Structure formats: structure tokens, C-alpha cells
Amino acid sequence: MFSLKTRLWRHAIIPSRYYYSSITAKRQESYEGGGEAKRKAQHDKGKLTARERLDLLLDTGSFREYDAFVEHDCTNFGMDSKKIAGDGIVTGHGTIHGRRVFVYSYDFTVFGGSLSRTNANKIVKVMDQAITVGAPIIGLQDSGGARIQEGVSSLTGYADIFQKNVLASGVVPQISLIMGPCAGGAVYSPALTDFVFMVKDTSHMFVTGPDVVKAVTNEQVSQEVLGGAKTHTVKSGVAHHAFVNDMEALQRVRDLMDYLPLSNRENAPKRLFDDPVDRQDEALNTIIPSNSNTAYDMHEVIQRIVDRHSFYEMAPEYAPNILIGFSRLAGETVGIVANQPLISSGALDMDASVKAARFIRFCDAFNIPLVSFVDVPGFLPGTAQEHGGIIRHGAKLLYAYCEATVPKLTVITRKAYGGAYIVMNSKQLRSDYNVAWPTAEIAVMGAKGAVEIIFRNKSGKDALEAEYKEKFTTPLAAARQGYLDDIIEPRTTRARLIEQLDLLKTKSLQNPWKKHGTGPL
């Protein structure tokens, strides 16, 4: 015969054990997603599952999940009998290299990764927390779009996510990995984030898929051509990188995070480096060809100046006539913007202007100093550029440089002609440190073109060209008027830049108060 105390204890513990078992079963249901067959189908396509991706992205054991037991509440089209714990999206937070990030990962094995109202609530919750505590947001996208059975409710879920994307913009870094098919509303959230990565062959992005395109326009097009990784990294510029598989994409995001601050209230992490601050690279003294019309690779210039093996290039295949990316000088993150003479002689066009402008605005929003390497003969001429809006697009780059208040440094390696000279962070755009190499040519235009205009009907133009170069295009002419801070020996560039960045750590510059600017979008 048990005592009253014992009987009460037994009655208390039995329900506890029952509920614990029930909770464990529900959690296991969430882990299993759409089941073994669908997970196998995901693997057969060369794709990882939602949780496998998070395991690779985050530091081991650091993930803390939110809302693992949430289920949809839709009763349309038999959905009331099709409920899975977690409802097809995994959300929470973890660390990358020991630093906090918030994450959400679509589970394509559950209803094709379609977005439900409850999915949207889960995403908005982690975005709100990320903004509150000041930590990046990383979204792993593998979604067919809005859940059709929920009608307008799923669409309003997208609207809530878009609103949070905009509110988080410039507050915390936002990164999207497209790791499967993303259509309709599923593509607009990534488009609002700072960086978009894709996976070759298995990821696609389009507003309307091939079937809709055929029905409306009678045009037959494959998923890959319409919205594959090559399309968006080479032609549209929507994506910044495309990687071979899920594993490489996740690792490269981990690498990128090492350059970025957690929020706009913090500085980017400083890393240990073994590259001497005063290292002088003799090859820089001869890297510029003696013939000003001969191309060279600006990658080599950058890599000989920054900390060794630290240049992380963004959007390398889109508008390759300009280079952008993150690097380090003395262990500190900097944003690099550089003309590429190997492509179109480094001339600025519509795509290059937009590509660089957006990157500059990101760096400025997150307090990352900007270093510009200039070799630009001007804006690309032609009716295609003029009719396409080169004036408006070029103004975006100008606006970005003018608005930026972070430390801004400029090195003119060779040509800096016309309006492009001004746009590429000239001294008058509040640039802090502008230097030129002795090989620099700074003028309204090249000597040949200038002489053709000024002395159209005169003979002996070779001598006139030589005279024009000596009087107007040498860096000394600009330095005499205070438009350059110095003319430096190329091999000393690294030490000079690091010295100036150290000096500018206490820079404080405020733009006039405004709600926001009205730049040329």
C-alpha cells in the first residue's frame, strides 16, 4: 500500500514521462522533414537537406533552433491532414568562426519548400531578433514559392519578409544562398539582400517559370537558360557567385563572414597577419606597360599590395571591366574597387557602374574603408550605352562615392580621363587620400584625341601630342594644383595605404540630416 505522498508523486511523473515522449516524437518528426524517400531524392539531385546545410554552415554544436514544433493551420484542399512539425523551414541562430548569426533554411522535402503563413512568421521572428541584437541574417533558399493552398495568406507572408529585409538593410548584413529552384515571391527576398550566391546546375531563380513563359509569350526556354547560375552571375548580375555544389557554397559563405562586421554598430573583425606592413614589391615598379594602350591584369596589382591571399572578389563574371571585393591591409577589412584594363580597357559602362555603386554603398553602411585603383579611359561610348541609360547608371556610381563617409583612398595607376576620372573617387568627392604612380595620365582625354580636336587642321601632330602629354597629362600637373596628395613609387603603395588607414581610424564625417537621398535608382 503506497502512501498518499507516493501516489501523488507517481501521478505527477507519469504524465511528465508521457509528454516528454510526445515531445521527442514531434522533434524527430521535424528532423525527418518530408521523409526518407524525399531526402533521398534531394541527395540524388546533388543537394543537401535543410539541416545538413546548417550543419556545414555553422560551427559544430552551435545551432539553437526556434519553432521546431510549429505546424500550418491551413484546412484547404485536405491540408488539415498533412501537418509536419516545423512546417518545412528550419530557423534559429548559431555561430560562424565563433560569431553569432541568425539563419533560416527552407526544407524542399516538405511541400516543395513552399512558403506558408507560419513559415513567414518563423522567418520574421529570426529577422527581428537579428536586428535587435545586431547579427547577420543568412537565408538558405530552396523554395517553389508561395503555398498555393493558402491563397493570399502565403502572399502576405512574403510581404512581411520583404518589409523586414528593407528594415534590416544597412543594419545587419544579409546573405542569400540559392540552393534549389526559387520562383515567384521566393526570388524577391534574396534580391533585397546584400549578397546572393547560387549553386551551379541545381539552383534557379525566376519570377515566372518556363511553363508560364511559354503560355504567355510562346517562347520555349529551359530553367537553366531562364534563371540558372550562369544567367545570373554573367548576364543579369542578380547573383554574386556560383559554386560547384552545396558544400563549396556554404564554405565560401563562411569565408565571406570573416570579412564582415556583425552589424552597423561594430567594426569588421581584425585578423592576425604575417605579411609585413612595410613590404615593398619591386614588381609594381614595372607592372604598368610602357605603351599606354597595352593591357595588364589589375588582379596582380591588388594581390601585390593587400595582405597575401586575402582578396575575396565579388561578382567576378558580371561586368568584369570593374573589380570589387573584400581584402585586408594589416589584418583590417577593406573594400576594393578597381578598373580592369584587360576588359574594355577598364572603361566604365552601365553594368560596371551599378555593380560598383551597390558595393560601395554596402561598405559605407557597414563602416568598411574603401580603396580604389584607377585605370579608366572614360565611359564606354555608343548608342547601346546611351540608349540604355549610361548617364543614369553612371550617376549611381558617382552618387555612391559622394555619399560615402568611410575612409576613402585612391591610387591612380595609369589612365584617369574625363568624367570617369571624377567618378572614380577623385579628391573633390571627399576622398581622404589620393595618390598617383609616375605612370599615371590624368586629363580630360588622351593626348591623341585632344590634339585632334584642338589642332584639327595642323600638321606635325606627333610633336603636339608629346607637348600635350608633358603639359597636361602627367601626374605632376594634377599634383601642382592639389588634386593629388602625392606621387608615390609603386613599390611603396602597401605601406602608404596602411599608414593612411591607421591615421583615418578616428575619421568622423556626417552628411547633412535628411530622411533619405533621392539618388538615381
> Can you tell me the distance from the alpha carbon of 247 to that of 199, in angstroms, rounded to the nearest whole number?
10
Which residue, 264, 256, 269, is CA-closest to 366? 264
- What is the secondary structure of 213-255 as a DSSP string? HHHHH-----HHHHH-HHIIIIIS---SEEESSHHHHHHHHHH
Q: Which three cell numbers stand for residue 259?
A: 570579412
Q: Which of 420, 440, 443, 450 is catalytic?
A: 420
SS3 134: coil
Q: Which of 94, 184, 325, 335 is catalytic?
A: 184
Which among 132, 143, 41 has a CA at the least distance from the CA of 89?
Answer: 143
Residue 297 in 3-state DSSP? Answer: coil
Cell matching residue 176 = 542569400
- Dihedral of CA atoms 449, 453, 457, 458 in degrees, nearest 10, equals -60
86: CB partners within 8 A, 6+ apart: 29, 30, 33, 67, 68, 69, 70, 107, 110
User: Which of 127, 117, 129 shows the shortest CA–CA distance to 155?
Assistant: 117
Give the integer Cα–Cα distance in Å for 42 and 114: 15
**Any catalytic annotation for residue 420?**
yes
Q: Is 185 a catalytic residue?
A: yes
Q: Of residues 134, 388, 418, 419, which has the active-site annotation?
A: 419
* Annotation says 400 is catalytic: no
The long-range contacts involving 507-513, CB below 8 angstroms and separated by at least 24 positions, are: 507/405, 507/406, 507/407, 507/432, 509/405, 509/430, 510/405, 511/403, 511/405
Beta carbons within 8 Å of 449's beta carbon, 6+ residues apart: none
Please confirm, yes or no, whether 229 is among the known catalytic residues: no
Among the listed residues 185, 227, 346, 446, the single catalytic one is 185
* Helix and strand totals (H; E) in the chain: 19, 16
CA pair distance 507, 491, nearest whole angstrom: 27
From CA 351, how far away is CA 317, in angstroms rounded?
11
**Which positions are annotated as active-site residues?**
184-185, 419-420
